[in-house]
């Protein structure tokens, strides 16, 4: 029952990315749909009790998200990359602590982090919608860079 609820929540988040998002959000949505299918394919690939196939797939997803994060100015991608890093690290913990009883801890953490990732999909859809609305109403990110007496980073520009 919980698997069905998580899958429905994931698909709703992906649908929000496709419906409200730009190309970045749609790329992430497509990657998640591919990830959902490929997880079943690579699940049998194991080294001992370590699920190497799933770990490699999650690492590949992290690398793709990091690339998008560095290429685009979307804050939600930064959060997504951080949550995905936590998920990848749970696989590393299981590898380093072989023979210890961390399996259920890692699975529980991964489940909770996936729910955070799904919430991030909705945040991403909102951010894309808000960016389009801001641009449509004549705003630009250049106008948003105001002088601040507290932070002296106003002169630093991102390429």
If the chain, 159 residues long, is cut into consecutive pieces of 10 residues, what is the mean pLDDT of each piece?
A: 90 96 94 96 89 94 96 92 95 79 81 94 94 80 45 45
In the 8-state DSSP scheme, what is residue 149? Answer: S
Please give the Cα distance from 121 to 25 (Å, whole number).
Answer: 8
Predicted TM-score (pTM) of the model is 0.80
Separation of alpha carbons 121 and 13, rounded Å:
5
* pLDDT of the residue at 139: 63
Q: What is the dihedral of CA 52, 55, 60, 64, to 10 degrees?
A: 180
pLDDT, residue 147, reads: 45
């Amino acid at each position: 029952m919980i698997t069905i609820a998580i899958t429905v929540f994931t698909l709703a988040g992906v649908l929000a990315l496709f419906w409200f998002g730009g190309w970045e959000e749609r790329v992430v949505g497509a990657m998640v749909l591919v990830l959902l299918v490929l997880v079943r394919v690579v699940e049998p690939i194991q080294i001992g009790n370590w699920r190497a196939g799933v770990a490699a797939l999650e690492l590949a997803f992290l690398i793709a998200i990091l690339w998008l994060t560095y290429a685009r100015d979307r804050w939600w991608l930064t959060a997504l990359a951080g949550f995905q890093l936590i998920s990848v690290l749970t696989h590393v913990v299981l590898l380093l602590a072989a023979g210890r009883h961390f399996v259920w801890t890692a699975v529980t953490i991964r489940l909770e982090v996936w729910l955070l990732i799904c919430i991030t999909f909705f945040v991403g859809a909102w951010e894309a919608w808000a960016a389009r609305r801001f641009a449509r109403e004549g705003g630009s990110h250049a106008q948003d860079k105001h002088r601040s007496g507290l932070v002296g980073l106003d002169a630093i520009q991102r390429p």
